[in-house]
Structure formats: structure tokens, C-alpha cells
Structure 1
């Protein structure tokens, strides 16, 4: 799994655990739902500020959303 797929899987898992819809998450972080959907589908990469906003909304450390990425891509080693 690529690091982008892992990142998207982590975000989706945390949204699911908290029963937060994409629409609600997008609204809470000030992003159109279509923009969040494009990121979760892999059409657009997440920006660091967006990941920070999501981690705040989800009540998790950024590291939770980034978990497993260092093992997936040589750029992190």
C-alpha cells in the first residue's frame, strides 16, 4: 500500500470510529465536502494544514493519522 493510500485509510478509519461523516468533517474544518472527498479518493493530496485540522477535529495526535507511513515510503527514512 502506498503512503497516500495508508494516509487515506487512517483518516477514514478515525472518521468511522467517531461516526463523523465526510460532510460534517469537511464543514468542521472549513473545506467543501467535494474537496475532502477528492482527498479521500486520492485525486488530490492532503496538505499538512488539513491534516492538522482533521487531527484536531478527531481528537488525535497527527502521528495517528500518519501511522504506518514511514514504513511505506523510502522518503521518510
Structure 2
């Protein structure tokens, strides 16, 4: 069984670029105010989620190992 990640978007930082939803459409959605939300708070680790976090122009997305809290992105 693979890793699971806690997915968090800091909506006070999010500018609604939509890059996350374009990179990982199954992982993120934009609300009516164009703020990003993870589709699931805990999701299977995937290249798409990592690419979405890395592509966020304001680094509003954090990924951590579920249950352990160790950062995946941004790295320490």
C-alpha cells in the first residue's frame, strides 16, 4: 500500500490561479470565489498532487504524510 498525504490549501494565501485544478483536477476544485479546496483532506500520494503543489505560484498548498505530519511539500 502506498503513502497517503494530508492536503491543505491556505486560502488566505491562495490567489485562485487554477493551476492546481488544472494539474490535478481530481485533487483540487475552485469555489465561487476562485479559492482552491482539496477534493479530499487525505488522498493517495500522486505525481499530480505533487505537481499541483509545486506549480502553485504563491505556495498555498502543503502536503504532509498522513498520520505522521512529515512535510512532503514544501520540504523543510
Q: TM-score range by the shorter chain?
A: 0.3 to 0.5
Q: Which has the higher contact order (CA 8 A, sep 6+)?
A: 1
**Greater helix content:** 1
Decide which structure has the larger Cα Rg and report it.
Answer: 1
Normalised to the residue count of structure 1, the TM-score between the two structures is 0.40
